[in-house]
Amino acid sequence: MSTIRSIIAAPPSRRVYDRLMFARRTRRLIATAALAVALTGGALAGCSGEGATSTCSTTGCTITFERNVTNAKISILGVEVQLVSANQDSVTLKVAGQEVTVQRGDGVNVGDFTVKVTEITDSQVVVQVDRGGN
């Protein structure tokens, strides 16, 4: 109660000062929250490489390779993924320097990653790369 009395009994200039300080703290809190969201959102951002784009979260990325680009590649989750070749049923990729062939709809483990081919069309190849392979 003494705090409430001191605020009520405070001169008008003190009340204005208290309101300004409250507003300042509120702005700082909002700015801090916005920064936290922006930094977290950065982990969910997309990237682009040579003939490839991706949409990533903290645990994995969906990569879309353009088939008409020679040596299409992208760097995601700290590794480089390159489209080596593709036919209607399978895709050969180089993941962190290791070449693997993956059938459409199947997934393989490459180091710390699981690589799955989700779509193969005439114009693009879509691959899902997730952490947590072996």
Pair (126, 74) in one structural domain? yes
- Same structural domain for residues 51 and 93? yes
| Residue 56 lies in domain | 46-131
Q: Same domain for 75 and 86?
A: yes
pLDDT digits (tens, 9 = 90+) for 81-128: 999 999 999 999 999 899 999 999 999 999 889 999 999 999 999 999
Number of domains in the chain: 2
Please report which confidence band the pLDDT of residue 11 belongs to, taking 50, 70 and 90 as the band edges. low
Q: How large is the greatest C-alpha to C-alpha distance in the chain, in angstroms?
A: 81
Q: Do both 34 and 87 map to the same domain?
A: no
Average pLDDT over residues 67-85: 90
The angle subtended at Cα 106 by Cα 102 and Cα 109, nearest 5°, is 70
Same domain, 68 and 35: no
Same domain, 24 and 87: no
The per-residue pLDDT for range 35-53, each reduced to its tens digit, is 554 444 444 456 767 889 9
DSSP annotation of 129: E
What pLDDT score does 42 carry? 44
Residue-level pLDDT at 63? 95
Distance CA 40, CA 26 (A): 21
Tell me, yes or no, whether 52 and 67 share the same domain.
Answer: yes
Q: Are residues 20 and 64 located together in one domain of the fold?
A: no
User: Does residue 86 sit in helix, strand or coil?
Assistant: strand
pLDDT at 24: 72
What is the spatial distance between Cα 33 and Cα 70, in angstroms, rounded to a whole number? Answer: 43
